[in-house]
Amino acid sequence: MTLIFQILAVVVILIAAFFMLRGGGARHQAIRRILMLLFIVAAASSVFFPQVWTWAAHLIGIGRGADLLLYFLVLTFLGFVASTYRRFRNLEHDVTELSRQVALVTAPQPTTHQDESS
């Protein structure tokens, strides 16, 4: 039963990795891909070698490997929230700038009345 779970967990991790790493053009940065690959390796290793996480946790003074993984998850989530917030703020700024440009381009031109006595 454990082997079936391990295989299923790795398949799910690989499917998630495929969707996270597939092309997005210039928007995908190399550092994001490297960090994602490290996360995938960590996830797969936690399935097959949970004792390594326990050993690493004891090495840095944490009681259990599961606690160490939880801490990494929380830190990763916070990084995701921060980068998503920054991305949305940039998008809001871009939309504001585009809206201003569209308003200027589509605004009716003021009519000028020339003095007829000249």
Q: What angle do CA 91, 96, 101 make, to 5 degrees?
A: 125
Q: Are the CB atoms for 44 and 37 separated by under 8 Å?
A: no
Predicted local distance difference test score (pLDDT) of residue 44: 84
pTM above 0.75, yes or no: no
> Does 11 map to a domain?
no
pLDDT of 73 strictly over 70: yes
Which residue has better confidence, 97 or 59?
A: 97
* Token reading at 112: 């000028």
What's the pLDDT band for 96 if we cut at 50, 70, 90?
very high
> Does 87 map to a domain?
yes
> Does 33 map to a domain?
no
At 81, is the secondary structure helix, strand, or coil? helix
* Residues of the chain above pLDDT 90, percent: 15
> Does 76 map to a domain?
yes
Predicted local distance difference test score (pLDDT) of residue 16: 65
Q: Is 61 left (phi over 0), alpha (psi -120 to 50) or beta?
A: left
Instruction: Determine the Cα–Cα distance for residues 18 and 14; give it in Å rounded to an integer.
Output: 6
The whole-chain average pLDDT of the chain stands at 78
Say how many residues make up the chain. Answer: 118
> Does 44 map to a domain?
no
How many domains, in total, are found in the chain? 1
Domain that residue 88 falls in? 51-104
